[in-house]
Amino acid sequence: MDQSKLEQGIRIFLEGMGVDTNREDMARTPERVARAWSGEIVSGYSTDPDEVLTYSPIEPGSGPVLVRGISFASVCQHHLLPFFGVAHVAYVPHRRLAGLSKIGRVIDAHARRLQTQEE
């Protein structure tokens, strides 16, 4: 992510609301907000969900796998406002089983990107 562009955009956004970003108590706000967004809120853009998964070999014919109740938080791409939800993942493994704890990390990697709530 381009930290400089994020800071510049946040500064313009604040100034558009009439906030004086030159005030001592506001001077570092664009930097702090940009760091929070890039380092946490939308950090999924720097995470490859495929690299998060680990697998174990299994016997063919194993039954379905269901992981329920994975809480997540994301940001609406249309309004840049937060929303929260719960994901459930089900799949039938073929020759390998994804680590169950890793499925939650994949959900998190996707949730930490801008989303439409309907997706």
* Cβ contact 83:74 at 8 Å: yes
Matching CATH number, 49-119, of 3.30.1130.10, 1.25.40.10, 3.30.70.270, 1.10.357.10 = 3.30.1130.10
CATH architecture of 1-41: Orthogonal Bundle (1.10)
Strands (DSSP E) contained in 18-81 are 55-57, 65-76
- Give this prediction's pTM: 0.82
Query: pLDDT tens per residue, the chain (119 residues)?
Result: 899 999 999 999 999 999 999 999 999 999 999 999 999 999 999 999 989 998 999 887 788 999 999 999 999 999 999 999 999 999 999 888 998 889 999 999 999 999 997 77
8 Cβ contact partners less than 8 Å away, ≥ 6 residues apart: 30
Q: List the domain boundaries for the chain.
A: 1-41, 49-119
Contact yes or no for 112/49 (Cβ under 8 A): no
| DSSP code string of 82-105 | EEEEEEEEEE--SSEEE-HHHHHH
